[in-house]
Amino acid sequence: MASVASEAAVKGGAWLVDETSPDRVMTPEKVTEEHEMIRQTAAEFIKGEVVPAHERLEQKDWKLLRELVKKCGALGLFGTNIPETYGGVDLDKISTLVVSEEVSHHASFGATFGAQANLTILPLYMFGTEAQRTKYLPGLISGEAVGAYCLSESGAGSDALSAKTRAVRQPDGSFVLSGEKMWITNGGFADVFIVFAKVDGEQFTAFIVERAWPGVTSGKEEHKLGLHGSSTTPLILQDVKVPADAVLGEIGKGHKVAFNVLNFGRFKLGAMCSGGAKASIGEAVKYAATRKQFGVPIATFGAIKHKLGEMTAREYALESMLFRTAGLIDQRIAATPDKKKDDGTPMLQALEEFAVEASIAKVLGSETVDYIIDENLQIHGGNGFVHDYPAEGHYRDARVNRIFEGTNEINRLLIPGMLMKKALKGELPLLAAAKKLQDEIMSPSMSLPDDAEGVLVAEGRACGAFKKVVLMIAGTAMQTYGTKLEQEQEVLSYLADILIETYASESAVLRAQDAAGTKQPNVDLHVDAARICVSESAGRIELAARSCLAAMAEGDVLRTQLAALRRLLKVTPANTVVMRRRLADATVAKGGYVF
Ligand SMILES: Cc1cc2nc3c(=O)[nH]c(=O)nc-3n(C[C@H](O)[C@H](O)[C@H](O)COP(=O)(O)OP(=O)(O)OC[C@H]3O[C@@H](n4cnc5c(N)ncnc54)[C@H](O)[C@@H]3O)c2cc1C
C-alpha cells in the first residue's frame, strides 16, 4: 500500500470524526501482483472447474462438490488467513477479499466455501487450542475434510442465544449434547461441526463435534428458493457424547465465538456480493449490447443506459468501501505490537474493532447485489424470467444474502448501536463531536463550505456534511430517548442507512480522488461514479434524516432542526444523467464492469 495510516485512523468508526487523506486509503487500484495472482487462481478454478459442474451441483451431486472442495483446498484458497503451520498460506485481508469476490461467481459454491473458510476454519484458528488447531485445520484447509457452523435453531435464529440445544456435563468432564440445529450450510456431508449449545441449560458454549460420533445425523435437504447446489439441512444431535477437550473457547463464552466469527463472515459476505454484482453487470451489458429492439441494440436507449450507469456507480461505492475496510483491518493487524507467530489474537481484535464496518459491508453488499441482479433480470426482459438464461438463477441465489449472517434488520440495529457503545466507552470522540456540532448549529454563523478547488472538492465537503447529519441525528436521538433508544428501531434503522450512505460515498470519493492523484487512465469515469454516489446519497440521507427528525420532534423545534438540516446538506445536484450515460457507454465498450 502507498502509506500507513496513523494510529487514530486504524480505529473502527474513526472515519466518522476524522478526515481521511485519499493516499491513505486502500483501493482496488493499489492491489499488488500477489493479490492479482491469488485472484487469478480463484477465477480460473471457478470458471474452469465449478461453473462447468453447475447442472450436476444443482442436482445435489455432493460427491462432486466434495471433489471440488478438495481442489479448492489444494489451491490454497481456504487458508488465505491462516498461518503456514496449519496448512494455510497466511496472506492479508485484501487477498481474502479478492478470493471471496471470485468464488462468488458460482453462488452455491460460494456458500459452501463460506461455511468452510469463514465459519469453520476461522473460529478454529481464532479460538482453538493448539491441539484443536493441529487436529482439524490442516484437513479443513486442504479440503480433505468439510466443515459446518451450527448456530441457528428453528426457534432461535436472530435470537441465537436462546438456543435450546443442551450440553449436559458428565462426571468424567465430558458432555452429552442433544438438540436440533437448523439451516446448516454443508449440513448434508460435513465432517466437522462447530455446534453451539447451553451447558447445563445455561452457559452458551461452542463445541467441536465430529460426524463420526454416535448420535450425529443430518436431516433432510431443505427445498430452497435458490442455492440449489449447496447443502442445507438440520443437524440432529441425539445424546452425543462429546469429550471435554471439544469445547471451543471457554464454557459460557460461546457468544464470543459466535459474534466474532460473524464479524468477519459479514465482511466476506459483502465481498462475495461485490463479486456477484460485477459478474451480473457483465451479463447485463453483453445482453444489452446484442439484443436489438426497434432496429437497434437496447444498450443505446437512455432507460437502459441509466440502469447500466447506476449499476456501475453502486458497485463502485461497494467495492471502494470493501477495499478501504480490508486495508484498515490489515493496518490494524500490522500495527499490533510484539505480534507472535501463529497467534490469532491480533486478527480477532482487528475484526472486533471493525465490526461496524463489517455490518455495513453485509447490508450494503447484499442490497447492492440484489439491486444489480434485479436490473440485470429486467434488462433481459422475458428472457430474464426463464430458466434458459442465468439471470433468474442469480436472482433466486442472491436473495438469502439479506437473511443469513444476521438479517439486514439486525445488522441495521447493530451499526448505530455498536458506534454509540464505542462513544460511551470513550473509544471514539463522538460525543464531543456531537456537542461541537450542536454549538455550530445554534450559532448564526454556522460554517459554510469554503471555495477550495480540486478533484471532487464539493463531493468531499458533502461527505463531511453527511457525517454532521449522522452526529445531529444520533445526538438528538440520544437526548430524546436516552437509555430507551434501543427500543426505537425505526430511528436506529434510518440512522444506519445514513451511516451506510456516508461511509460508502466517502469511500467512493476518496478512491476517485486517489485515482486522479495517481493519474489512473480512466479517472473521468472514477469521478463520474463518485459524483453519482454522492448526489444520490444526499437525497436518500435527507429523506432518512427528515423522517427521523419528524419522529423525534414537532412544531418549532422540528422546524428549527429541519432548517439546520437544510443548511448542513447544501448539495447542488449533479447532472447524473450524462454521467450514467458515460459510464454505460464505457461499460458497453469494455463488455463488463469498467473499473
Ligand atoms: C440458505 C441458508 C443457509 C443458512 N446457513 C446457516 C448456517 O450454516 N449456520 C447457521 O447457524 N444458520 C444458517 N442459516 C440460518 C440463518 O442464519 C437464519 O435464518 C437467520 O439468522 C435468521 O433467523 P430466522 O430465520 O430464525 O429469522 P427470525 O429471527 O425469525 O427473523 C424473522 C424476521 O424478523 C426480524 N427480526 C428478528 N428479530 C428482530 C429484532 N430483534 N428486531 C427487529 N427485527 C427482528 C428479522 O430481521 C426477519 O426479518 C441459514 C439460512 C439459510 C436460509
**What SS3 class is residue 196?**
strand
Instruction: Give the separation between CA 95 and CA 556, rounded to whole angstroms.
Output: 53
Compute the distance between CA of residue 385 and CA of residue 374 in angstroms, rounded to an integer.
Answer: 11
- pLDDT score of 435: 85
Q: Please check whether residues 118 and 102 belong to one and the same domain.
A: yes
Q: Could you give the CA distance from residue 150 to residue 233 in angstroms, rounded to a whole number? A: 10
For ligand 1, atom 52, which residue shows the shortest CA distance?
A: 183
Query: Looking at the structure, do residues 153 and 140 belong to the same domain, yes or no?
Result: no
pLDDT at 450 (0 to 100):
56
Please indicate whether residue 185, judged by its CB atom, sits closer than 6 Å to ligand 1: yes
Which of 252, 267, 289 terminates a domain? The answer is 252
Whether the CA torsion 586, 318, 540, 303 is positive or negative: it is positive
> How far from chain centre, in Å, is Cα 474?
23
pLDDT of amino acid 2: 38
Q: Can you read off the three cell numbers belonging to residue 421?
A: 457503545
Closest ligand 1 atom, residue 407 Cα: 47
Does 402 lie in the same domain as 272?
A: yes
Dihedral angle sign, alpha carbons of residues 254, 255, 256, 259: positive
Q: What is the mean pLDDT of residues 568-586?
A: 94
> Is the Cβ atom of 400 under 6 angstroms away from ligand 1?
yes
Residue nearest to atom 11 of ligand 1 (CA): 151
Q: Residue 170 is part of a domain; what is its CATH number?
A: 2.40.110.10
Is 7 labeled as catalytic in the residue annotation?
no
Cα distance between residue 269 and residue 185, in whole Å? 14
3-state DSSP assignment of residue 229 = coil
Whether 316 is in the pocket of ligand 1, judged by its Cβ within 6 Å, is: no
Q: Is residue 230 part of a domain?
A: yes
Q: Which of 283, 405, 501, 506 is catalytic?
A: 405
* Torsions phi, psi for 140 (to 5 deg): -70, -40
* Residue 26 falls inside a structural domain: no
Q: Is residue 489 part of a domain?
A: yes
Please report whether residue 261 resides in a domain.
Answer: yes
Task: Kindly state whether residues 64 and 186 are assigned to the same domain.
Answer: no
| Residue numbers of the domain that contains 195 | 149-252
Q: What is the CATH number of the domain that holds 526?
A: 1.20.140.10
Average pLDDT along the chain: 94
Percentage, residues of the chain above pLDDT 90: 89
Number of domains in the chain: 3
pLDDT in tens, 201-214: 999 999 999 999 99
- Distance separating alpha carbons of residues 310 and 114, to the nearest angstrom: 29
267 and 96 Cβ atoms separated by less than 8 Å: no
pTM given for the model? 0.96
Residue 193 has pLDDT above 90, yes or no: yes
Mutate to test the pocket of ligand 1, among 152, 228, 230, 487 (most ligand atoms within 8 A of CB): 152
- One domain, residues 206 and 234: yes
User: Is 542 part of a structural domain of the chain?
Assistant: yes
- State residue 4's pLDDT score: 40
Same domain, 81 and 105: yes
Q: Is the CB of 150 under 6 A from ligand 1?
A: yes
| Last residue within a domain, chosen from 84, 115, 145 | 145
Which of these three, 252, 272, 299, is where a domain ends? 252
Work out the burial of residue 574: count CB atoms within 10 Å of its CB; fewer than 13 is exposed, 13-18 middle, 19 or more buried.
middle
Judgement on whether residues 441 and 503 belong to the same structural domain of the protein: yes
The answer to whether residues 176 and 167 touch, using CB atoms and an 8 Å cutoff, is: yes
User: For residue 23, is it within any domain?
Assistant: no
pLDDT at 437: 87
Q: How far apart, in whole angstroms, are the C-alpha atoms of residue 174 and residue 206?
A: 14
- Residue 8 reports pLDDT greater than 50: no
Give the whole-angstrom CA distance, residue 52 versus residue 49.
6
- Cα 451 from Cα 518, distance rounded (Å): 24
**Model confidence pLDDT, tens digit, residues 369-414:** 999 999 999 999 999 999 999 999 999 999 999 999 999 999 999 9
Measured distance CA(101)–CA(83) in Å, rounded? 22
Stretch 256-269: mean pLDDT: 92
Q: How large is the angle between the packed helices 457-481 and 430-442, nearest 10 degrees?
A: 100
Residues 265-295 have pLDDT tens digits of 999 999 999 999 999 999 999 999 999 999 9
Give dist(CA 299, CA 304) in Å, integer. Answer: 6
* Residue 160 alpha carbon to ligand 1 centre in Å: 9
CATH number of the domain residue 76 falls in: 1.10.540.10
409 in contact with ligand 1, CB cutoff 6 A: yes
On whether both 298 and 341 belong to a single domain, the answer is yes
Residue 12, in any domain of the structure? no
Classify residue 178 by burial, with Cβ atoms within 10 Å: 0-12, 13-18, 19+: middle
Residue 462, in any domain of the structure: yes
Confidence band, pLDDT 50/70/90 cuts, at residue 436: confident
